A and B are shown apart, each in its own frame.
Chain A
């Protein structure tokens, strides 16, 4: 019996892929030496003056449009005042009063239903620096601070409390990442911290109109972690309530190793951020013409693309969703189909060999020598009967590793399929003579025996024989006996 319903809202920080920071020209590149991408503005040196990066606002608008938000007519910024070692100015510049995007949504397929998850707002803010500790934060005698990330533009995406299960939370995040990735405004790497997710969680009796007391979950560094942590926290709250106790409103930390959430600090005791409009940041019009041109520049987003692949390419829904989950993969698919117009065949290869090799190598498509032209070339070799599907897998692996064209590999390695009935005929004679038991079995109606005999020929030819032809020759020969 289900006694409790979970209510989940997510807050997702996504680092924007601008070249420079939100209020200065310092680089945003990942992985530079500590404190080498800093200047008076992002260090908060006395006398500095911030200047707004229009590119960051353009990206924020682009993301907001992709997530079906209304765009606020003017960009303004506010100060959120607090002290922390990684915060250079004693305040974070953020859009507290007027977020760039409001009132959006994403449709998420959950099983065979579509759930519409509301997006309350999308606002732009600056990232903080990074703390480095000797050992863990509590035992370290001091902390080291690197301000390279300080001032890098972020958007924070805040959902409505529309999510009901940990699985939905994960599906939502995957869909969100896919959309953001399509727009090109961020690379959305959770591992590098360019996408981070916190969750607000409460439980209540199903159908209740009010919310239970919520906790805030932090430190979830992968989609899997979000799902596990959310699952754990829901169970924990149900357990607390089932024992007649109250959920304490607090921030909790996900401990990945132990698989539990741990209380960090009491929430609502704290913090009055004393937000007010930043007098240094001149407002900017998000004028309708500009917003419209950004809308025009949006690529086809995953939902539309899935629809087109199903309707126009005749792909199964599952294939279309899998391929579109990454923009790279979907672009690769489309380019390949343009050269070799067998969508389902291309889709099988992409979901099969291509994905397998990418995963094994831990690489992105762009980092491999694989091109749509090479894959299409390989598929044409199969279609023309030059090589068998089985040989093709080997050729693909060579191609993936060496970057050679498939035709060259086939030539070089002498992999051209044997389709000469004369040559194959004598091989068949030898094999049938050497395996009388299998011949008898086949005659007795055991179809399996045929497979064995074909296999022997394939072995003899190291896979180069045309299997259909061999099949046909053996059948004819035995039936003629």
Chain B
């Protein structure tokens, strides 16, 4: 099975990455090479095998509900591309 160009475009969009026309062919090839490489996992019989998300057998590590200090606002905003000292600023939002 191959990933179609449309699927690749949709996935690029899902990751909010512009995909220019001149890259499409190379990406299509590169990604399908990865797909071909990954495809061998499908030949393994994994019936009744549970999925591993957490490699450690850790359980019940949590914090109790206690308030702790937050960051000073200047530090929270120190690396912001655009801010007004109170809020982070983003370009206008056009509902799609």
Task: Say whether B60 contacts A285, CB under 8 Å.
Answer: yes
Decide: A279 and B53 in contact? CB cutoff 8 A.
yes
Q: Which residues of B contact A36 (CB under 8 A)?
A: 70, 73
- Decide yes or no whether A268 CB sits under 8 A from chain B: no
**Taking the complex as formed, is A455 at the interface, i.e. its CB lies under 8 A from any CB of chain B?**
no
Any chain A CB within 8 A of the CB of B47?
no
- Contact of B76 (CB < 8 Å), options: A38, A141, A143: A38
Interface string of B45-84 (1 = CB under 8 A from A): 0000000011000111111111111110100110000001
20 new A-B contacts at CB < 8 Å, known A85-B93, A283-B59: A18-B65, A25-B66, A26-B70, A27-B67, A34-B86, A35-B88, A39-B70, A43-B76, A53-B64, A55-B65, A131-B93, A141-B92, A142-B92, A143-B90, A145-B87, A264-B95, A274-B14, A279-B53, A282-B59, A284-B62
Q: Complex Cα distance A83/B64, Å?
A: 30
From B62, B71, B86, B89, contact of A54 by CB (8 A): B62
Q: Closest Cβ of chain A: how far from B90's Cβ, in Å? A: 5
Please classify how large the interface on chain B is, using the bins under 10, 10 to 19, 20 to 34, 35 or more. Answer: 20 to 34
The reply to whether the CB of A205 lies closer than 8 angstroms to some CB of chain B is no
Check: A147 CB closer than 8 A to any chain B CB: yes
Find A38's partner among B61, B68, B71, B84 (CB 8 Å cutoff): B71
Contacts of A314 in B (CB 8 A): none
Q: Which residues of the other chain, B, contact A277 by a CB distance below 8 angstroms?
A: 53
Which chain B residue lies CB-closest to A147?
A: B88
- B86 close to A279 (CB less than 8 A): no
Q: How would residues 50 to 73 of chain A score, 1 for a CB under 8 Å from any chain B CB and 0 otherwise?
A: 011111111000000000000000
Contact indicator B54/A25 (Cβ below 8 Å): no
A140 touches B92 (CB 8 A): yes
Within 8 Å of chain B (Cβ to Cβ): is A132?
Answer: yes
B20 within 8 A of A: no
8 A–B contacts, CB within 8 A, in A order: A40-B71, A54-B65, A85-B93, A132-B87, A137-B95, A282-B59, A282-B60, A283-B59
Residues 119 to 145 of chain A near chain B (Cβ within 8 Å): 131-132, 137-138, 140-145
Nearest residue, chain B, Cβ from A130:
B87
Bound-complex Cα distance A131 to B65 (A): 27
Q: Which residues of B contact A303 (CB under 8 A)?
A: none
Q: In the complex, A449→B92 CA distance in Å?
A: 75
Residue numbers in A under 8 Å from B53 (CB-CB): 277, 279
The yes or no answer to A95 lying at the interface (CB within 8 A) is no
Query: Which 6 residue pairs spanning A and B have beta carbons closest together?
Result: A55-B65, A25-B68, A144-B87, A54-B62, A277-B53, A145-B88
B42, CB-defined interface residue at 8 Å? no
For residue B54, give the distance in angstroms from its CB to the closest CB of chain A.
7
Known: A265-B96, A277-B53. Is A144-B88 also a contact (CB below 8 A)? yes
Given A20-B68, A26-B67, A277-B53, A51-B62 contact (CB < 8 Å): yes
Decide: A25 and B63 in contact? CB cutoff 8 A: yes
Report Cα–Cα, A51/B62, bound state, in Å: 6
- How many interface residues does A have (CB within 8 Å)? 49
Per the 8 Å Cβ criterion, residues 14-60 of A in contact with B are: 18-20, 24-27, 33-40, 43, 51-58
Q: B68, A26: Cβ atoms under 8 Å?
A: yes
B-side contacts of A143, CB under 8 Å: 89-93
With known contacts A39-B71, A279-B53, A285-B59, A55–B64 Cβ distance under 8 A = yes
For B88, list chain A residues within 8 Å (CB): 35, 144-145, 147
Does A321 sit within 8 A of B, measured CB to CB? no
Tell me, in angstroms, the Cα distance from A54 to B65 when the chains sit together: 6
Least CB distance, A274 to chain B, in whole angstroms: 7
A81 contacts the other chain (CB 8 A): yes
Cβ–Cβ < 8 Å partners of B73 in chain A: 33, 35-36, 38
| A107 beta carbon closer than 8 Å to chain B | no
Query: Which residues from chain B contact A138 at a C-beta distance below 8 Å?
Result: 94-95
State how many angstroms separate the Cβ of B4 from the closest Cβ of chain A. 15
Q: Are B64 and A34 in contact (CB under 8 A)?
A: no
> Nearest Cβ distance between residue B46 and chain A, in whole angstroms?
17
Using known A-B contacts A39-B70, A143-B92, A283-B59, determine if residue A272 contacts B14 with beta carbons closer than 8 Å: yes
Q: Tell me the minimal C-beta distance from B38 to chain A in angstroms.
A: 16
CA distance A272 to B10 in the complex (A): 10
**For B66, what are the chain A residues with a Cβ–Cβ distance below 8 Å?**
19-20, 25
B65 touches A56 (CB 8 A): yes
**With a CB–CB cut-off of 8 A, which chain A residues contact B63?**
20, 25, 51-54
> Measured between alpha carbons, how far is A142 from B73 in the docked complex, in Å?
21
Is A334 positioned at the interface, with any CB of B under 8 Å from its CB?
A: no
In the complex, what residues of A have CB within 8 A of residue B67's CB?
19-20, 25-27
Across-interface contacts of B68 in A (CB, < 8 A): 20, 24-26
A143-172 contacts to B, CB under 8 A, are: 143-147
B65/A53 in contact, CB under 8 A: yes
Nearest opposing residue in chain A for B56, CB measure: A282
Contact B87 A146 (CB under 8 A): yes
Q: Which residue of B lies closest to A273 (CB)?
A: B14
| Cα–Cα, bound, A138→B96 (Å) | 11
CA distance A43 to B79 in the complex (A): 12
